[in-house]
Structure 1
Amino acid sequence: MRRTLLAEQDQLAALLRSCGDHHDLEAGRRIHAQILGSAHHRGSRYLANTLIHMYGKCASLADARSVFHSMPDPNLFSWTIITSIHARHGLLDDAKRFFDAMPERNVVAWTALLQGFAEQRCLDTAKGVFDRMPARDTIAWVEMIAGCDRVCCAASAKLLFDLAPARSAMPWNAMITAYAGSGQLQLAKVAFEKMPATDVVSWNAMLFAFTRHGKVAEAEAVFRSMPLRDSVSWAGMFQAFARCGHLEAAKETFYQVPCKDVVTWNLLLAAFLHNDCRIQEARCVFERMPKRSLISWNSLLATYARTGNVCEAKRLFDRMPGRDVFSWTTMVGGFAEKADVTEARRFFARMPKQNVVSWNTMVATNSQGGHLAEAERLFEEMPERNFYSWSVMLAAYAHLGHTEEAIRVFHEMEVDGVRPDEVAFMCLLAACGHRGMVAEALGYFASMVSDYGLEPTAEHYSSIVASFARSGQLKHAEELLASMPFLPDQVAWRVFLGACGTLEDVSRAQAAARRVSDLVPANSVPYVVLANTYRAGLGSFPEPS
């Protein structure tokens, strides 16, 4: 009986691992329900740990936590898995809480937490974890070196490499990648040549170092010299040709690949899709594929949508044997780009599961189509918001001249802990510029520099010019146009010209009209504004000199 139960549990665990590998959440949940319905299996710690792992791979962390918290006696492996999956998905606060609650810790748990912080570029925090580790394995050293690579700090990576007690191929490979990441290809080559023993990963690291920087000839030389190639090697060489537009060489490489799987076919498809002029050839590749993955379908679908061919995208969508949230969001976005709000709404309503990207797309679609009330309703109903959600709403209010609402959304964004970027400040300053709110615009401009350390662009200065001009402070606007650290563009001069016309300031209008004409010679607007200013300010056109 016991042997039979163990065999059944092994079968269930294998099915759960398959669900995790294929990200099949629904099938995983069905197996979970089957386990819960069995008096013999529902208390199995082995199956519970496998369930947590499966839910982590399927990015359903709420389900993973539910399984973990239902376990009467989680073991070290249970704690390590739940910590690892949160770290891997960037939920570092949650990962840290689980880690701190662990009754005991092993090197795997320490390394998982370290890896999470390093992957999110929180290098100082990662270093703190690294320094506290009671014992470090090779993976911990490699993760720290890779973390330095992610923030383009090859010098720190080299310092860690020199301190590493063991010099297996893994630290050497990480160091080559770090040099490549900071553009130091010669040092990467020197490190490669110094290696006591190379493996296929080392050769691939050099191949991708050259590929990453568009050095196709050097990448090809590495590829031809490789004593052994794996699927990654072929993919690397293939991508090198494809990214540089050498499609014929990419095709030739594709035909030389000894074992062509769906990943190889997807790379060939992507090579043609990268060039919008060769979509028809990409479609031929797609139709010839012996087997297609969801990535194959979504890649072609996204290209049709991006290039405005939503009819063909819709036909392809209807043929798809399976769809994910990306497929649905692509269709919503495709109709949104064509300003077809009705179809975008229809697809959005049909989505089995809506993500933050689809919500953001609908908010943007409605606001850009003039349906501000609908955009506001969607924004308020969003189950979660990210930086782009706030930016879309802020831009909508700024574009429509709803200054008070733009300011309110900006402050709510700050309260929500979302850090504004240059674009958010651009929207805010533009909103102030519409109303000539000089004091507010100057205050936000100062905050952008002093509180957030952002570098103002010409557009930010132009918005301050607009605030001065529309508040009637033409002298201050003129002084800023002359002193700003950028050459004012035609938008700034046109705003200034319009304000001069409104205030019947003929001399300043003449100077501004000349500036606009110099920047956009074919534009007749400055002459029209200037003519109206002459009529209003002088009662007639000036006599020719």
Structure 2
Amino acid sequence: MQRGSCLRHLLSSYFCPNKTLNYITTSHLCSLISSLEETKQVFLCSHISAEEIKELSNLCSLGSLKEAFNRFNKCIWTDPSLFSHLLQGCLPNRSLSQGKQLHSLITTCGCSADKFVSNHLLNVYAKCGDLDSALTLFRAMRRRNVMSFNILIGGHIQNGDLESAYELFEEMPERNVATWNAMVTGFTQFEFNEDGLDLFYQMYGMGFRADEFTLGSVLRGCAGLKELRVGLQIHSYVMKSGFDCHLVVGCSLAHMYMKCGSTENGERVVEGMPLINVVACNTLIAGKAQNGHTEGALDQFNIMKMAGFRPDKITFVSVISSCSDLATLGQGQQIHAEVIKAGVDSAVSVISSLVSMYSRCGCLEDSVKAFSSSEDHDVVLWSSMIAAYGLHGHGQEAIDLFEKMEREGMEPSDVTFLSLLYACSHSGLKERGSKLFDMMVNKYNLQPRLEHYTCMVDLLGRSGCLEEAEALIRSMPIRPDAIIWKTLLSACKTHKNMEMATKTSEEVLRLDPRDSAPYVLLANIHASTKSWNDVSNIRKSMRDKKVKKEPGISWVEIKNQVHQFGIGDRSHPNCEEIEGYLKELTFEMKERGYVPDTSSVLQDMELEEKEHNLVHHSEKVAIAFALLNTPAGAPVRIMKNLRVCIDCHNAIKFISEIASREIIVRDASRFHHFKNGRCSCGDYW
């Protein structure tokens, strides 16, 4: 035992608290061990108490491996299974080097044949991402079990190698629920949702009982596919299996319903849970935001806080997104303050949301500040800032930022290119946009989606290349939808190409007979040439088919209250005051040379009636109200659900000069910054 003590002293020196861990010279150790009658004599078992095991486990879980080894080295030599605690201690900080040193000790001590210890060692290599070492160890293991296979499958999935994981899964002589869970989770994690559901059905058919982890993954797959029918079946299984009160399964169910557009069912699931947490609250808030119930998402956020839950970064991403959709700058600024108070203002996902929110509220400078405040820039944050520049018509700035992104070694995504193409489209950068599209395909091997082709059609159409835009639609490998044809139709209206507009409108109506856009755009083209019979026929066709035009609505936020206006709307309490001020503005505009553009009035009526109609367009009413109710010199921010018309665009330029105000208008297409009688778009929108 004297020589055994010498061995322990040598091994423990490698874990001295004041020394860096070193690899052990195996040959040196073996020379000592070979002089013993039997290696096992060094490791005669002795008793270690439950309290000591707990203390060892606690030290390892905190990552204090040196201290754990130094304090319990005698116990470890007498009970090699305690190596499992040391190996577990490598995981919190992904300490691969320490794991390899422990591997040296395990091998030297003759413990490598221990199945339990070997599995823990295999887990360290897999979790730390060293798949080569994990595979070498796996092949060398003489006694492998289901856990050995499960660990390696998990390692492959963690490293993105789903194919190798599935091959190993197929080779397994036996499987348990954890095996099935690993593969189902892997498929849904990488959005192979149909394969994940198929595997779940196989698992069920072979008699395995799904647990909360299985159900969570399967429900995530249903959410990804938006398969409400399958989701309802899984819900039934959840009820029968007794998991309906399980917190994780309940949150997964609510998420599935929300993603499938069934908001009410999602709310019912959460309301029926015996206990809720921040995850459940986040599920409701995100679900409402994603389904267009933005005000409901903000209300739910307030309810969450009143219930005593502390919002996290996931909460803030959803509520900031809601402020973006509503363009409620005041609320967005308040939530930004809460973000800082909660200490999540450095989270990249939150900063990306703030960049988007400020840009969509018309505050591009604040978007730039938020972007610059981040020390870490991921591809989402870069793309958000590029999109912000594009939304405000700063195409060259968007391209400059993209080039900076490339110089810093960040690889763009398809979303990055979508934002770039949009920016080029709204800035008239046709040649540059076409080159970026080619770069996406040829340099970065990204497959264009329908949205990318739509941006290219918009880019070509705005530039007047209508035939080229049509040829692109007909040659692309993806089936066109109504949106891409409407994009071309809008360009036909801009360039007054009646022949192509008629042909394109037929394509839109073939795909979506209830869409009012082709009727309205065609009527606008006919109205511009005073072909009133054609306009009348189009309006009659709409009535016969019960197709209704989406009404134009504009809104403005003043003192955290949103005021909404429609064309000719007299429901507002201040309508008389607004009416009087509009008359004053119209008189002053005409004095300065404003001539109403009546081509956008789709009715054959007297000139005076047409002008009265134009004066009461929703954006003009909203601007008049804002000018009356905000301090002199303060910028005015107006939002509109439709594209601003030519007459309003011209009129707002005059109003900005008369009122000496910057007027920022966000329409369905982009932002317009009106200042000193000019618009940032340069009349290209």
| TM-score, shorter chain, exceeding 0.5 | yes
Q: Which of 519, 522, 529 is the equivalent residue of 1:527?
A: 522
Q: After superposition, give the CA deviation of every residue in 1:266-316 in whole Å (9 maximum; x if it has no partner).
A: 534654673422356446424xx2x55444554455556664423243123
8 Å Cα contact 1:68/1:78 also seen in 2: no
Asked if 1:277 corresponds to 2:264, the answer is yes
- Secondary structure at the residue paired with 1:418? coil
Letter in 1 for 2:389: Y
- Give the structure 1 partner of residue 388 of structure 2: 396
Looking at structure 1, the residues matched to 376 and 440 of structure 2 have their Cα atoms a distance apart, in angstroms, of 26
Distance 1:327 1:436, change over 3 A: closer
Determine what percentage of the aligned residue pairs are the same residue: 18
8 Å Cα contact 1:243/1:271 also seen in 2: no
Asked if 1:115 corresponds to 2:123, the answer is no
8 Å Cα contact 2:99/2:124 also seen in 1: no
Q: Which of 377, 385, 388 is the equivalent residue of 2:369?
A: 377
- Give the structure 1 partner of residue 249 of structure 2: 267
Give 1:181-192 correspondences, 5 Å limit: none
Shift of 1:218: 8.2
Between the two proteins, the alignment pairs up a number of residues equal to: 425
Give 1:18-167 correspondences, 5 Å limit: 50=58, 53-54=61-62, 84-87=91-94, 104=104, 108=120, 111-117=123-129, 126-127=131-132, 130-131=135-136, 135-136=140-141, 141-147=149-155, 157-158=166-167, 162=171
Q: After superposition, give the CA deviation of every residue in 1:323-373 in whole Å (9 maximum; x if it has no partner).
A: 544445554445445443322322332232212222222221111111111
8 Å Cα contact 1:356/1:385 also seen in 2: yes
Looking at structure 1, the residues matched to 519 and 427 of structure 2 have their Cα atoms a distance apart, in angstroms, of 26
Distance 1:267 1:485, change over 3 A: closer
Looking at structure 2, the residues matched to 109 and 144 of structure 1 have their Cα atoms a distance apart, in angstroms, of 11
Q: Which of 299, 303, 308 is the equivalent residue of 1:311?
A: 299
Looking at structure 1, the residues matched to 131 and 528 of structure 2 have their Cα atoms a distance apart, in angstroms, of 63
Shift of 1:321: 5.2
Letter in 2 for 1:446: D
Letter in 2 for 1:85: P
- Give the structure 1 partner of residue 505 of structure 2: 516
- Give the structure 1 partner of residue 342 of structure 2: 352
Shift of 1:234: 9.5
Asked if 1:212 corresponds to 2:197, the answer is yes
Letter in 1 for 2:302: K
Letter in 1 for 2:92: I
8 Å Cα contact 2:482/2:508 also seen in 1: yes
- Secondary structure at the residue paired with 1:435? coil
- Give the structure 2 partner of residue 483 of structure 1: 475
Distance 1:73 1:340, change over 3 A: farther
Letter in 2 for 1:407: I
Asked if 1:437 corresponds to 2:449, the answer is no
8 Å Cα contact 2:485/2:508 also seen in 1: no
Give the CA RMSD over aligned residues: 5.2
Looking at structure 1, the residues matched to 458 and 405 of structure 2 have their Cα atoms a distance apart, in angstroms, of 24
Show structure 2 runs of 5+ residues with no match: 1-53, 74-82, 107-117, 223-227, 535-685
Looking at structure 2, the residues matched to 110 and 248 of structure 1 have their Cα atoms a distance apart, in angstroms, of 37
More helix by share: 1
8 Å Cα contact 1:242/1:250 also seen in 2: no
Distance 1:104 1:212, change over 3 A: same
Distance 1:320 1:221, change over 3 A: farther
8 Å Cα contact 1:494/1:516 also seen in 2: yes
- Secondary structure at the residue paired with 1:85? coil
Distance 1:233 1:400, change over 3 A: closer
Looking at structure 1, the residues matched to 312 and 404 of structure 2 have their Cα atoms a distance apart, in angstroms, of 32
Distance 1:312 1:148, change over 3 A: closer
8 Å Cα contact 2:216/2:248 also seen in 1: no
Give 1:185-204 correspondences, 5 Å limit: none
- Higher Rg of the two aligned structures: 2
8 Å Cα contact 1:214/1:244 also seen in 2: no
Distance 1:380 1:129, change over 3 A: same
Q: After superposition, give the CA deviation of every residue in 1:50-84 in whole Å (9 maximum; x if it has no partner).
A: 46734xxxxxxxxx7xx899999899999956753
Q: After superposition, give the CA deviation of every residue in 1:433-457 in whole Å (9 maximum; x if it has no partner).
A: 2333333223222221122211123
- Give the structure 2 partner of residue 415 of structure 1: 407
Letter in 2 for 1:352: A
Looking at structure 2, the residues matched to 312 and 425 of structure 1 have their Cα atoms a distance apart, in angstroms, of 34
Show structure 1 runs of 5+ residues with no match: 1-45, 55-63, 88-94, 118-124, 184-207
Looking at structure 1, the residues matched to 419 and 218 of structure 2 have their Cα atoms a distance apart, in angstroms, of 43
Looking at structure 2, the residues matched to 247 and 435 of structure 1 have their Cα atoms a distance apart, in angstroms, of 49
Distance 1:516 1:177, change over 3 A: same
Q: After superposition, give the CA deviation of every residue in 1:481-523 in whole Å (9 maximum; x if it has no partner).
A: 443334555555555556566666x5xx412332124414633
Looking at structure 1, the residues matched to 103 and 166 of structure 2 have their Cα atoms a distance apart, in angstroms, of 33
If the length of structure 1 is used for normalisation, what is the TM-score?
0.60
Shift of 1:379: 0.9
8 Å Cα contact 2:286/2:318 also seen in 1: yes
Letter in 2 for 1:245: L
Asked if 1:343 corresponds to 2:331, the answer is yes
Q: After superposition, give the CA deviation of every residue in 1:19-72 in whole Å (9 maximum; x if it has no partner).
A: xxxxxxxxxxxxxxxxxxxxxxxxxxx989946734xxxxxxxxx7xx899999
- Secondary structure at the residue paired with 2:246? helix
Shift of 1:426: 1.6
Q: After superposition, give the CA deviation of every residue in 1:234-253 in whole Å (9 maximum; x if it has no partner).
A: 99999999963259846853
8 Å Cα contact 1:469/1:496 also seen in 2: yes
Q: After superposition, give the CA deviation of every residue in 1:448-487 in whole Å (9 maximum; x if it has no partner).
A: 1122211123332343344444444455445434433345
Distance 1:519 1:266, change over 3 A: same
Letter in 2 for 1:381: S
- Secondary structure at the residue paired with 1:346? helix
Q: After superposition, give the CA deviation of every residue in 1:66-125 in whole Å (9 maximum; x if it has no partner).
A: x899999899999956753344xxxxxxx66777899957665564233343xxxxxxx7
Looking at structure 2, the residues matched to 221 and 169 of structure 1 have their Cα atoms a distance apart, in angstroms, of 11
- Secondary structure at the residue paired with 1:382? coil
More strand by share: 2
